[in-house]
Structure 1
Amino acid sequence: MKDRIKLIKPYISFDEVASELEEIFDSGQLTKGQHVAKFVKSLTNYTGGLYAVPMTSATTALTMCLKALGIKKGDKVAISDFSFPATANVVEDVEATPIFIDVDQDTYNMSVDDLRSKLDDKVKAVIFVDALGSPSGIDKIKAVCEEFSIPLIEDAACAIGSSVNGVKVGNIADLTCFSFHPRKLLTTGEGGAILTNNPEYATWLDMKANHGASGLRGKVFDFIDFGYNYRMSEIQALMGWKQIAKLDGITERRNLIADQYAEALEPLGMKRQKIAQGVYHNIQSLIFTVPETVKRDDLIDYLAEHNIESTLGTYCLSGTTFYTNKYNSVQATAHWLENHTITLPCYDGVDVQTVTDVISGFFA
């Protein structure tokens, strides 16, 4: 095999942005220009959400959502336990306490029963993670949040393009956070955004992300609060809106690739992530659980030897060294999934036959 088969390749090329990129440099306006406005509009049009606030990352987006809700020291935030550490880190950052909610072994998403069992009057927010892009089960979690009047934040870092019963992610939770990291289906290099239908949240978030500025006082900007520089650049925004129009086509093709993998690998005992009825999954990451008899890390090493990139599904947050030492509350299913899931290459042009042949050789 000559070329390494990577996990993912970006769905954007230089030629797609070349002419507008030259205009940006010629204008000298590298931030807060027409392309940021265009990207904001394209996000709201695509998701159906009323307001979009660009951010520097999904991590800063999540942090700002917690701040918008007034989460503080002494509060608790219930979080999905199978996720990237940023989901828990942002709770620590505002000095609140993360409550680790175990997940369903098939969908990898927050267990509604475990959430109910851990709710008390100190839980001031819930962060539901769309595991690997799938919002399966968010409708049930949303119902619980509404029952107890708890705000719902959707960590949709991986989920742009996914939907529930025809409603796009970005128009479901009280606050939704996207990531545009290079491993995401829509990338701006780095970057993120918050989607909300609440005008008060949107106004506050936009102000805080722009140093606390709000309009003019005479001929100068007025700063009505302290704030941050969490703005997205014109170059990032240009990359973003160029990809929105083709996003549905990308997800459709990724689903076809995922089906090809499943046809070859399920007879070997590998089990694909389950998607709930009515849910459309963008296949941000293509995840399988391996049989109990297989050591997942050995399979990753075997694929690497054959020039194929793979990795674990994602992390059991409560099982990381920091959170185990601090809270000693490791969740069983999330811990099992961390050790039994594998992410496989999925993108236009990936050589599915080669990858599945190599995996079949491992099982032989």
Structure 2
Amino acid sequence: MIRLIRPYISFDEVEQDLRKVFDSGMFTRGENVVGFADELATYTGARHAFLATSATTALWLCLKRLAVGPGDEVIVSDFSFPATANVVEDLGARPVFADVCPDTFNMTPEALKAKITEKTRAVIFVDALGNPSGITKIAEICRENALPLIEDAACALGSSEAGQRCGNIADMTCFSFHPRKLLTTGEGGAVTINNTDWVAWFNRKLSHGGEGMRGYGLDFVDYGYNFRMSETQAVMGRAQLKKLDDIIAERNEIRDAYIQQLASAGFTVQGHGPEVVHNVQSLVFRIPEGCDRDTLITRLREVGIETTLGTYALSATTYYHKRYNDVQPVASRLQDTTLTLPCYADLDVEYVCEQLVGLVTKRK
């Protein structure tokens, strides 16, 4: 099976550092966790980075920092994985879905402005499939309306717009290190911020509300959670961060090869702005008119090629449709007409394209 993605890490790369962790017996809150957080901050350009158990817990924590709760509304990009809205729902607030651009798949300024009310407490902009196109304009609108901006950059480590990397644009930015991401720690996530006044709060909340020492233990000055990353995970993250820019350059070359071979068959790649570096976390095309996307996925699997949908229209999922009945048309259309294709080194792009074009041609 030609898989969608292969992790960009091998055991040989981390064996020596993992052995040091095992020899030390320090599996949490050690030098690798500290080092990885510092390196993430440096890489993104943010002042501070905090490691977490996932992008989901990172998003949830950001909303807690803003005291989002019942009666509040949070405007959310509609084309995303459900975690983006679930964290809002879990805190008793309402996710208000903003429709997206049919080219970039990202929240549009017009959709955001139309959704702002006196109940709006924050905005979550999603870098759809790693693409941050439009976030600079969204950040400007948020500033004009005194609304905190959270960037769901789960897929976007290494991407940038107008010379600023994701992690250094919004008030708070959340990353994922899930196995489908370009940098994986198995599971895991991170938050980056520039507000130094928030540092102590994030440190406390990530570690049960404890800080400093009182007698022989921590002084628990607040309530908090165990959202900490382990030392072994941090070892994996540090190894991949060193080569992330090379990985992104390679994936953009693969993207160009696909575009060249699929354009004539009517496939249109996800677009991005002129000042955007897209890490190509997921390589997503809109399928030709008249094609059935789910049938394509099934037929490609039969010839040994793993593919999947682009992502979800949150407003059209069963739960949110029943609860709010506010389906956004562009996102809903994209959910049914986008296809994620394999993308990694040594992939036989020509074979994948031949099979895909053949299926489309046969349909005609």
Instruction: Check conservation: 1:128, 1:152, Cα contact below 8 A.
Output: yes
SS in 1 for 2:175: strand
In 2, the alpha carbon distance for the partners of 1:215 and 1:200 equals 17
Which TM-score applies when normalising by structure 1?
A: 0.98
How far off its partner does 1:121 sit?
1.2
1:127-174 per-residue CA deviation (whole Å, 9 max, x = no partner) reads 000000000000111011000000000000000010112211110100
Show CA shifts across 1:74-100 (max 9, x none).
Answer: 000000000000000000111100000
- Deviations along 1:199-245, one digit per CA (max 9) or x if unpaired, are 12232111101000111123321011011000000000000011111
Hey, what does 1:279 align to over in structure 2? 276
1:154 aligns with 2:155: no
How many Å separate the matches in 1 of 2:30 and 2:162?
35
Quick one: distance in 1 between partners of 2:267 and 2:198?
43
Equivalence for 1:91: 88
Aligned partner of 1:338 in structure 2 is 335
Instruction: Please name the residue that 2:11 is paired with.
Output: 14
Q: Distance in 2 between matches of 1:9 and 1:203?
A: 37
- Please name the residue that 1:296 is paired with: 293
Look up the equivalent residue of 2:16 and give its one-letter code. Answer: S
- AA in 1 matched with 2:340: T
Correspondence for 2:163: 166
* 1:248 is the counterpart of 2:245: yes
Rounded Cα–Cα distance in structure 2 between residues aligned with 1:126 and 1:306: 42
2:115 matched residue in structure 1: 118
CA distance in 1 between counterparts of 2:134 and 2:73 reads 22
Deviating beyond 6 angstroms after TM superposition, the runs of 4 or more aligned structure 1 residues are none
Equivalent residue for 1:131, pick from 125, 128, 132? 128
Amino acid at match of 2:43: Y
Which residue pairs with 2:25 in the alignment?
A: 28
CA distance in 2, matches of 1:213, 1:55: 16
Provide the residue aligned with 1:195 in structure 2: 192
What residue ranges of structure 2 are gaps of 5+ in the alignment? Answer: none
SS of the residue 1:326 aligns to = helix
Please state if 1:324 is matched with 2:321.
Answer: yes
Aligned-CA RMSD value: 0.7
Q: What's the offset of the Cα at 1:258?
A: 0.3
What is the Cα deviation at residue 292 of structure 1? 1.9
* Cα distance in 1 between the residues matched to 2:42 and 2:287: 39
SS at match of 1:342: strand
Deviation of 1:277 (Å): 1.2
Which amino acid letter does the alignment assign opposite residue 256 of structure 1? E
Q: Are 2:274 and 1:269 equivalent residues in the alignment?
A: no
Question: Counterpart of 1:288 in 2: which secondary structure?
Answer: strand
Say whether residues 1:312 and 2:306 are aligned partners.
no
Aligned residues, how many? 361
Distance in 2, Cα, partners of 1:201 & 1:272? 39
2:18 and 2:198 map into 1 onto residues whose CA distance is 32
Q: Is the contact between residue 160 and residue 282 of structure 1 (CA under 8 Å) also seen in structure 2?
A: yes
Which residue, out of 217, 221, 226, partners 1:220? Answer: 217
Corresponding residue number in structure 2 for 1:78: 75
Residue 50 of structure 1: aligned partner: 47
Equivalent residues in 2 for 1:227-246 (5 A)?
227-246=224-243
Matched, 1:211 2:208: yes
1:37 to 34, 41, 44: 34
CA contact (8 A) 1:310 1:345 kept: yes
C-alpha contact 1:52 1:202 (8 A) present in aligned 2: no
Q: Deviations over 1:238-266 (max 9, x none)?
A: 00011111000000000000000000001
Partners of 2:298 and 2:329 in 1: how far apart? 25
C-alpha deviation, 1:276, in angstroms: 0.6
